[in-house]
Copies of this chain bind each other. A is one copy, B any other.
Amino acid sequence: MDVESLGDLAQKQIRELIITGAFKPGQQLKEEELCSRFQISRPPIREAFKMLEAEGLVTRKPRRGVFVAEMTPKDIWEVYTLKAVIYQMAAALAMAVMTDEDAQALEAAVAQMTAVVASPPVDLRQYQLHHRVFHEIVMTLAGNDRLAKIERNLRFQVSRISYTSLKDPTHLQASLAYHRQIAAAMKQGDRPLACRLMKAHVLEALDLALTLLPVDSGEPVRDRGAAPLSADADLLEVAL
């Protein structure tokens, strides 16, 4: 019945608290505090910490404690550029096995997204939900569990930021348009176009995320060269 250990449960709950923003970046997570919150003892909490650390959601300072991971502009850049590549790979793999029904499922997801946007006030949670369905269809078709795991992890790391991005009406419209075009390109079997659109979609999100980020941390983004910390579309032009 209760197959999940308390450690796994705690991991999920703490993760949820982090990605929803209840636990803010930089905040220390004290073991005893979480013990009393979840009414369990410390070992499961510690195990949850270890897993969350591996996921990159918390950082551990030895003998100091664990803290919610902070996102610098560099971190944002890292996650989004990776997402651009991951999504392109997923799209390419998915198109190799996609059927007409799959294409229709994608279009249905886009239709749902359209419906949400068309009926103000826009329910962002709802939009996010259908948006996720869209990408989940693609990931499932791709058939690479490790790819899906990486995508999931990257999504967690920028979940708050990507949610905030949707509050920008212009970006919301652009996002919707992108997904409509991506679905069409995938249906028609135009792989280069689908990949280009996927890349452009993610890199546009990156640009917005960088502007949304509080500009408190002015650390350099790239160590070498004067490459700006932005959406270098050309740079991500590689052959999968």
A 73-130 contacts with B by CB, 8 A: 77-79, 81-82, 84-86, 88-89, 91-93, 96-97, 99
Q: Which of A29-37, A142-150, A178-186 contacts B (4 or more CB under 8 A)?
A: A142-150
Partner of A50, one of B3, B51, B239: B51
Interface centre among A63, A81, A86, A145 (most CB of B within 10 A): A81
- Determine if B143 and A235 form an interchain contact, defined as CB atoms under 8 angstroms apart: no
- Determine if A53 and B56 form an interchain contact, defined as CB atoms under 8 angstroms apart: no
A 38-71 contacts with B by CB, 8 A: 43, 46-47, 50-51, 53-56, 62-63
Q: A85-B89, A224-B141 are in contact. Are A191 and B237 (CB under 8 A)?
A: yes
Q: Which of A163-171, A192-200, A210-218 contacts B (4 or more CB under 8 A)?
A: A192-200
- Determine if B143 and A223 form an interchain contact, defined as CB atoms under 8 angstroms apart: yes
Cα separation A16 to B79 with both chains bound (whole Å)? 28
Q: A62-B5, A88-B240, A224-B141 are in contact. Are A235 and B50 (CB under 8 A)?
A: no
Expressed in whole angstroms, the minimum distance between the Cβ of A49 and any Cβ of chain B is 9
Count chain A residues whose beta carbon lies closer than 8 angstroms to a beta carbon of B: 58
- Please report whether the interface of chain A is mostly helix, strand, loop or mixed according to DSSP: helix
- Determine if B51 and A239 form an interchain contact, defined as CB atoms under 8 angstroms apart: no
Q: Closest B residue to A240 by CB, please name it.
A: B236
Partner of A227, one of B43, B51, B97, B154: B97
- Determine if A240 and B199 form an interchain contact, defined as CB atoms under 8 angstroms apart: yes
Residues of B within 8 A of A149 (CB): 56
Residues of B within 8 A of A227 (CB): 96-97
Residues on A facing B (Cβ under 8 Å): 3-5, 7, 43, 46-47, 50-51, 53-56, 62-63, 77-79, 81-82, 84-86, 88-89, 91-93, 96-97, 99, 141, 143-147, 149-150, 154, 191-192, 195-196, 198-199, 222-225, 227, 232, 235-240
